[in-house]
Amino acid sequence: MEQTIRICHMYPDLLNLYGDRGNILALAYRAGLRGIKARVTALSIGEVFEPEQYDIVFFGGGQDAEQNIIRADLVQIKGDAVKTAVNNGNVFLCICGGYQMMGEYYEEFDGTRIDCLHAINIYTIAQKKRLIGNTVYESDLLRAGAAHNCVEPRKLFGFENHSGRTFLGEGVRPLAKVLCGAGNNGEDGTEGAVYRNVYCTYSHGSFLPKNPAMADHLLEKALKQRIGEDFCLEPAECEVENIARTSASTCKRG
């Protein structure tokens, strides 16, 4: 059994809103509960991305300004390798701005259209009113599984703050349905996106510490990719996570 999970943290110096690096810590923590070490590599502007070196790739969220800063590097330098990784079935977790950048384009409120990676069939259009607040979603992709005794494991708790409204194109399915909050666009009741092993969400907070079933799902998918056969993690308790989940379940939106 693989004793190391190799995580690539993309642009941690620029895409790291609302403690998104906490997702890396949660993956390392949930892997560690099973005796699996996490090797985390930070890649930023000018650094080469080699897909075969990693099991999970993480993109955090960022303001429009940071998205503009990384765009050229992401699309022109890392773009082909990222798309290769997507098509090879590498596991990605992309949060908010990182999610948006994986799509066709991101149109800012003033109409400026930022050409994005074209790695998944989504597009985003920013509106003046920001979508902000606590969120609760429900995903049919998740099950209790290895997240032992996780309270309502299909529920995803988070926080959103985005002006972008994202719409899913053919071949891309939502990660979850919205129970509380706005989700992708505040209109169609969808939240996030899934394409192959690319998982996207607007959830900051950060996302995985409060959602152990999702963290374990990503770890299992990544290790299955690596060893080439189905893989199930040993069960691990969710006592601390359940305290956060129970508190977040009220979904107070200010």
Active site residues: 96, 204
CA distance 146 to 94: 22
Is 162 one of the binding residues for ligand GLN (CB under 6 A)? Answer: yes
Q: SS3 for 235? A: coil
CA distance 55 to 39: 10
Q: Which of residues 186-245 bind ligand GLN (CB under 6 A)?
A: none
Burial tier of 139 (Cβ tally within 10 Å: 0-12, 13-18, 19+)? buried
Least distance from ligand GLN to the Cβ atom of residue 148, Å: 32
Residue from 149, 163, 225, 249 binding ligand GLN (CB under 6 A): 163
CA distance 94 to 58: 6
Interface characters, 89-108, with ligand GLN (x: CB under 6 A): -------xx--x--------
Q: Which of residues 16-45 bind ligand GLN (CB under 6 A)?
A: 17
Tell me the window of 26-34, 44-52, 155-163, 180-188 that interacts with ligand GLN (CB under 6 A). Answer: 155-163
Is 155 one of the binding residues for ligand GLN (CB under 6 A)? Answer: no
Cβ proximity to ligand GLN, 153 vs 205, nearer residue: 205
Number of residues near ligand GLN (by CB under 6 A): 14
CA distance 215 to 159: 17
Q: DSSP of 112-154, one letter per residue?
A: PEEE---SSSEEEEEEEEEEEEEEEEE-TT--STTEET-SSTT
Interface ranges with ligand GLN (CB under 6 A): 17, 61-64, 67, 96-97, 100, 126, 161-164
